[in-house]
Structure 1
Amino acid sequence: MICLSSFMLSTIPLPRILTNNTTKIFHQFPCKNFSTPYVSLPTSKFRYAMSSPWSATVALQGDVEESGQQPKPKWSDIGPDITEAQKQAISQLPLKMTKRCKALMRRIICFSSQDENLSFLLAAWVKVMKPRRADWLSVLKEMKRMENPLFMEVMEYALLDDSFEANVRDYTKLIDAYAKHKLLQNAENAFQAMKNRGFPCDQVTLTVLVDMYSKTGDLDRAKEAFEDIKLLGLPLDKRAYGSMIMAYIRSGMLEHAESLLKEMEAQEIFAGREVHKALLRAYSITGNADGAERVFETIQFARIVPDSKLCALLVNAYCVAGQSEKARSVLENMRSAGLKPSDKCVALMLGAYERENSLDRALAFLIEMEGDGVVLGPEASQVMAGWFHKLGVVDEVEQVLREFSEREGKQKLHSL
């Protein structure tokens, strides 16, 4: 007998929430699903209403009278009071876009929440223009391109309209969009609405949920969704693994994250640079040199070429762990590979020597860096200056700062 988790059981389709009568009324009148007034914002940013269209059907019948009193939209005339920005946006509508789509786009571009009701506008468009799925997709695509702040509200409405012919992937895209904008409750509402309409919860949807719960720090729910993907009997992909690994990292469970990374390797699935970097950084901050070593080896096994930032994290792990010689070896390997140690790396190395009270080794290290053409940067200079101040060597501090200023000046002149 197969045991399903509570999360998987919750994905079993429930009866459709829209009865035939309700559906009929829905297409005759607007869905009053926007609980907050829309405030016009610059088109460079989205503003998504915190509304739930699927729950709005409960109050739909009570809004019939009110919506019936709304004036009919004039599709051919949008009025003289439009701004230059609106005129410009209208002029940039695709030439191949159908007339019915352009009619709606013009009204959306010039929409005013004070004078109009978006749900009534969309209902009137559906009734008059008789759109098909392709028309809805054309409008949504153009709104997304223009970064129109009404995009999510129009998409919410479309999902409930029969002419849109919504499928599971449409809901997945909506859930993903909400998740990316950190609207967790809206995403969960969309997920519940998808199940209520009888759409199956597949691998793609569950992967989106893993990623969403991972980013919000909900480890338990991320694990549930991740395990439910396995119950589907389908292979896990790179995104699902990566999201789950990040969930463990955010929760401080680094060994679990590393174990999952090895599980990926066994299946010849390799996580991206950012996932490896996040795990390496977590080990580096805690000074877990052994863990940092293992992840660094994994990075190379995954055919990711280490850059100066990844090397700096390994150097930091050794320095925090008090293993300055191993940190120095990393810098030597960087130079052999043609990577120039960053100011951060040099500063970390000097900081390790300071904690060990090894001034001679620090000066020898600086002379060696100088011979390789590595100029002492501001962060490394501050470490040396602070160290000299503690030793009471004021003259040397002034000389280090003076030399640094002169080199900076020469570099700026040379760049000109």
Structure 2
Amino acid sequence: MISLAVPAIYSLTSQFSGATTHARAPSRCACACVRGRQGAEQPLASVEAEQAAAAAAGEAPRFRWDAFGSEPSEPQQEAIRGISPKLPNRCRALMARLVCLPPPDQDGDGDEDDETLGALLAFWVKAMKPKRADWLLVLKELAAMESPLLAQVLEHALLEDSFEANVRDYTKLIHIYGKQKLLQKAKDAFHGMISLGLPCDQVMLTALMDMYSKAGDLTRAKEIFEEIGLLGLPMDKRVYGSMIMAYIRADMLDKAEDMISEMGDQQIVAGKEVYKALLRAYSYKGDSKGAQRVFNAIQFAGIVPDTKLCALLVNAYCLADRINEAMMVTRNMRSAGMTPCDKCIALILGAYEKLNRLEGALAFLTELEENGVVIGQEPSQLLAGWLRRLGVVQEVEQVLKDLAVDRKNTLEVDRKKNNLASVRKIKRRSKSKRSFASYLQHK
């Protein structure tokens, strides 16, 4: 398998062989590592002076982890300072080198960069004798930094005996390649795993199905789905969910609904993200009947709809010019204790503008105001643009000012009433205290 083969590194590591055979004591090896963050930031001049002194003494120059070949740039130095201090020295030393390598395929041909990375990892394995835990710490740090070298480092690690690769490691690599839509590399990784005699389980096949689904290859995704059943592997909601997502991406929404019904017959409940994807597909198509059908299925599955799901249903009704049903959704949201989001309000206002029904839009906003719903920025800007196009901005501004004054006066009256009630309450309390004190004096 070409993509997973280790590149030729003998020419690049020949300069390191003298150093590794010259000093093998653990203390000398520890000196070559980065201690904390200071070693990674040592100036290049001191490294060159040390190598020159070693050459003058007739010794072979010793490779340094902090010798980057050139002065690290400011972003690279910032990345080095951001390396987790909890990492062991051997892992931190490798990370300090990795962050200074260029990203893969920077110049269109990543062979030279791959050889450099391969040589670096080969020397690290030879010098540090890492265990699987060390590899996992390095991969975790690369994932946290969102490094583009994560896939390449994992690819090299799979071939190292010290990594002790298993099926999950190959699954993770295939998942990474699937997200990047590198299908050929994912296939090579899969065939490499099979050639090593590792078993192919349900999780691996599900990852492959997701990869083909995202790539738009519905036929291959269906073949893998059928293969999972033929192998007698468990058909759980993850397997069904991946196939449903494949149908949704292929715009075969009726097939997706049929598979959800099939899951229900087997007492398997689909995940919320699957329902949301199907509802979104119907919503963007303006299919209000399909959207309402999926929304009912969500509630029947015991999933409590949130504002995002309600907004998708409102969008479906608005695209179908069924404004009354869209308003009914917002009323049901208020009845359920949810406040209609700005997206829902803006969608309904946009539908009113499309039908040129300004009075209905103002009545809708008045209803929201009476129920204590605050109109946000998005619907306010949409309404302002609509009124500006109608040329009635000044009239509406005057009405809004009058409403603001009335609202301010109402709030002032309410505040005075509350203050008066508080004063009366305090007087009643003080009177009861005085009467109790006078009672004690008479006693």
**TM > 0.5 between the two?**
yes
Instruction: Work out the CA distance in 2 between the residues paired with 1:91 and 1:360.
Output: 60
The structure showing larger relative contact order (alpha-carbon pairs under 8 Å, at least 6 residues apart) is 1
Note the alpha carbon deviations across 1:229-260, whole angstroms, 9 max, x for none. 22222232232222222222222221122222
1:52: which partner in 2?
Answer: 3
Decide whether the 8 Å contact of 1:86 with 1:110 is kept in 2.
Answer: no
Of 97, 103, 118, the match for 2:90: 103
Task: Note closer, same or farther for the CA distance 1:195–1:323 as it changes in structure 2 (3 Å cut).
Answer: same
Range moving further from structure 2, 308-317 or 68-77: 68-77
1:211 aligned residue: 210
Matches within 5 A, 1:5-404: 52-54=3-5, 56=6, 60=8, 64=10, 67-71=13-17, 72=19, 75-76=29-30, 77-78=32-33, 80-81=42-43, 82=66, 92-94=85-87, 102-103=89-90, 105-110=92-97, 117-127=116-126, 132-134=131-133, 136-137=135-136, 139-141=138-140, 144=143, 150-388=149-387, 391-399=390-398
Identity %: 56
Structure 1 residues 163 and 404: CA distance shift in structure 2, 3 A:
farther
Contact 2:216 2:249 in 1 (8 A): yes
SS in 1 for 2:380: helix
Question: Partner amino acid for 1:208?
Answer: A
CA gap 1:379/1:202 in 2 versus in 1, 3 angstroms: same
- Aligned counterparts of 2:394 and 2:79: Cα–Cα separation in 1: 65
**1:75–1:104 contact (8 Å) kept in structure 2:** no
Instruction: Report the Cα offset of residue 316 of structure 1.
Output: 1.7
Q: Work out the CA distance in 2 between the residues paired with 1:247 and 1:221.
A: 10
The answer to whether the Cα contact below 8 Å between 2:307 and 2:341 also exists between their aligned partners in 1 is yes
Deviations, residues 312-334 of structure 1 (Å, cap 9, x unaligned):
21112112212222222212111
Pairwise CA distance, 1:207: 0.6
Mark the runs of 5 or more structure 1 residues left unpaired by the alignment.
1-16, 18-50, 410-416
* Aligned-pair CA distance for 1:381: 3.3
Moved more, 115-124 or 184-193: 115-124
How many residues align? The count is: 348
Q: Is the 8 A contact 2:84 2:141 kept in 1?
A: no
User: Which residue is equivalent to 2:62?
Assistant: none
Closer, same or farther: CA 396–279 of 1 in aligned 2, 3 Å: farther
- Provide the C-alpha distance between the structure 2 equivalents of 1:93 and 1:402, rounded to a whole number of angstroms: 60
Q: How many angstroms apart in 1 are the aligned matches of 2:395 and 2:305?
A: 36
Output the CA distance in 1 between the equivalents of 2:83 and 2:321: 64
Larger radius of gyration: 2
Letter in 1 for 2:229: K
- 1:106 alignment partner AA: A
Give CA deviations for 1:1-20 in whole Å, capped at 9, x if unaligned: xxxxxxxxxxxxxxxx7xxx
SS in 2 for 1:339: coil
- Aligned-pair distance for 1:203? 0.8
Maintained 8 Å contact 1:104/1:125: no
1:288-313 residue CA offsets vs partner (Å, 9 max, x unmatched): 11100111011112222112221121
CA 1:331–1:195 in 2, change beyond 3 Å: closer, same or farther? same
| Structure 2 counterpart of 1:238, one-letter code | K
- Normalised to the residue count of structure 1, the TM-score between the two structures is 0.70
Distance between the aligned counterparts of 1:131 and 1:117, measured in 2?
19
Q: Which moved more, 1:192-201 or 1:303-312?
A: 192-201
**Greater mean alpha carbon deviation, residues 66-75 or residues 317-326:** 66-75
Aligned-pair CA distance for 1:220: 2.5
Distance in 1 (CA, whole Å) between partners of 2:172 and 2:228 is: 18
Offset at 1:206? 0.7
One-letter code of the match for 1:325?
A: N
